[in-house]
Amino acid sequence: MNNRIIKHIEEQLQCHIVHHELVGGGCIAQTARLTSDDKRSFFLKQGFIGDAFRKEANGLNELRKSQAIRIPEVILVNDEFLLLEDIKSGVKTSRFFTNFGVAYANMHRFEGESFGYKEDNFIGSTPQINTPNNNWLDFYFTHRLLFQYQLAEKNGYADTNFADAFKHLEQRLPHILQGSEEAPCLLHGDLWGGNYLVDENGSAVLIDPAVYYGHREADLAMTKLFGGFTAEFYRSYQQCYPLKEGYQYRENIYLLYHVLNHLNLFGSSYKQQALQLMNSYR
């Protein structure tokens, strides 16, 4: 534990940290739970270089604007650490995923003026470019698919078959996205089973966002990357805020962004999956 960070927290919050314990689960940041002498509890993230913690804090605060789902309160943030409200852990109720689906649908009703965000941020440890654009097709291709593909080229993954599949996909993209036009809405950006908590009331809490404004189909596709949520989640979402016809056909194009990112972060074990997703539109 960094004593300088602890001292800074104590000075800012006018307390003494009397206990800390390391918490597992993070693959990028080091995490710990802190307890103060006035019985407050905090969740600390540290160890990432750069402005990632500030970007994460801004993303959490953006999600809070929707007032649709619980988001941890940002207590303190700088380039060295992020201090959050400590969410007390609970258990899922029988209606957990039903309620989660409704809350997530309501979050997606919070709209922005353009696709993108006020600043770039990160998807995992990869930069995520959010330059605003009024055209979803242009935004998604340029700042999501092409950006990741160019990283894959630099990393040596884009052989002839890979390059041909991506070029064909680029030509098909206007057809793939045709009919899915929607206003920009608030997205978590990286929702899977590891990026939500269950609070003391048995309700969902969103953490670790990669926030931007985009098509909600992109957010829901990500939930299916590692097996998906329950049928109740998707059913209640659809009942609350129905998706446009053809959303299942478009799922692979949105999964591709995250699989390419995993290819660039974790290596060639994701290459075949990326290729299969691209070729699914041939």
Any idea of the CA torsion for 99, 221, 242, 118, to the nearest 10 degrees? 90
Indicate the SS3 state at residue 66.
coil
Q: Which of 86, 190, 208, 219 is catalytic?
A: 190
Question: Helix 231-240 crosses helix 96-108 at what angle (to 10 degrees)?
Answer: 40
Token look-up 């890979």 returns 162
Report how far residue 187's alpha carbon sits from residue 227's, in angstroms, rounded to the nearest whole number: 20
Nearest to 26 by CA among 194, 189, 188: 194
Report how far residue 84's alpha carbon sits from residue 97's, in angstroms, rounded to the nearest whole number: 25
Residue 199, classified by CB atoms within 10 Å of its CB into exposed (0-12), middle (13-18) or buried (19+), is middle
190 given a catalytic annotation: yes
Catalytic residue numbers, as ranges: 190
